Amino acid sequence: MAETPQAAAKLSPLARTLHVIAVYFAYLGGAVIAGVGLMSAVSIIGRSFIGRAIQGDFELVEIGIAVAGSLFLPYCQATRGHIIVDFFTLSANPRSIWNLDRIGSFLMAVMFLAVGWRTLVGAFDIARSGETSMLMSVPIWIGYACMVPGVLFAGLIATAQSIGIETAERRVNE
């Protein structure tokens, strides 16, 4: 569904702010993916034509994809884009579904905040140990640290949803 100013205008100021920041996080994640793709293309072309690839390109792909994935999480949460199995709620009334959605958002918030906390702790521990990637000697903690904002912001959005703040307009079929 394309984002429209009209859809964002119906949200509260806090919800609109959360949604707009989530969109920017997603754009940043897309830019990281584009950068990884471009680097991969250059490496493949170099390997094919001059017999030399970017040393450790797979290390950069691993780190870049992990970071990009974490940057997509806030938008996915804000738009309720996660997979939902509604087999048991097909005949439930809208109020029950709304309450179940809030409980689900609370559980997602707990999970995102716990993962964000542990990722941050992991980044500090890895920085302290000085661990680097095998071929390029890129400090591993940088990838972990770059994942923290996306995961924690997704947790913030899920927390807002769990207290009843809608961060995106509901689609007609919801």
Give the distance, in angstroms, between the CA of residue 162 and the centroid of all CA atoms in the same chain: 18
Residue 172 pLDDT? 45
pLDDT tens figures, 76-98: 999 988 877 777 788 889 899 88
- pLDDT higher at 13 or 172: 13
Secondary structure (3-state) at 132: strand
pLDDT tens figures, 121-158: 999 999 999 999 999 899 999 999 999 999 999 999 99
**In terms of Cα–Cα distance, which of 140, 16, 125, 136 is closest to 67?**
140
Per-residue pLDDT band at 171 (split at 50, 70, 90): low
Contact 72, 112 (CB under 8 A): no
The pTM of this model reads: 0.86
Residue 4 pLDDT? 44
Cα distance between residue 55 and residue 119, in whole Å = 27
Contact 53, 44 (CB under 8 A): yes
Cα distance between residue 114 and residue 107, in whole Å = 11
Residue 140 pLDDT? 94
Residue 5 pLDDT? 42
pLDDT tens figures, 12-63: 899 999 999 999 999 999 999 999 999 999 999 999 999 888 888 999 999 9
Contact 105, 161 (CB under 8 A): yes
**In terms of Cα–Cα distance, which of 122, 121, 140, 120 is closest to 130?**
140
What number is the average pLDDT over the span 91-119? Answer: 94
Contact 4, 163 (CB under 8 A): no
Cα distance between residue 160 and residue 98, in whole Å = 14
Contact 101, 161 (CB under 8 A): yes
Residue 170 pLDDT? 60
Residue 7 has pLDDT above 60, yes or no: no
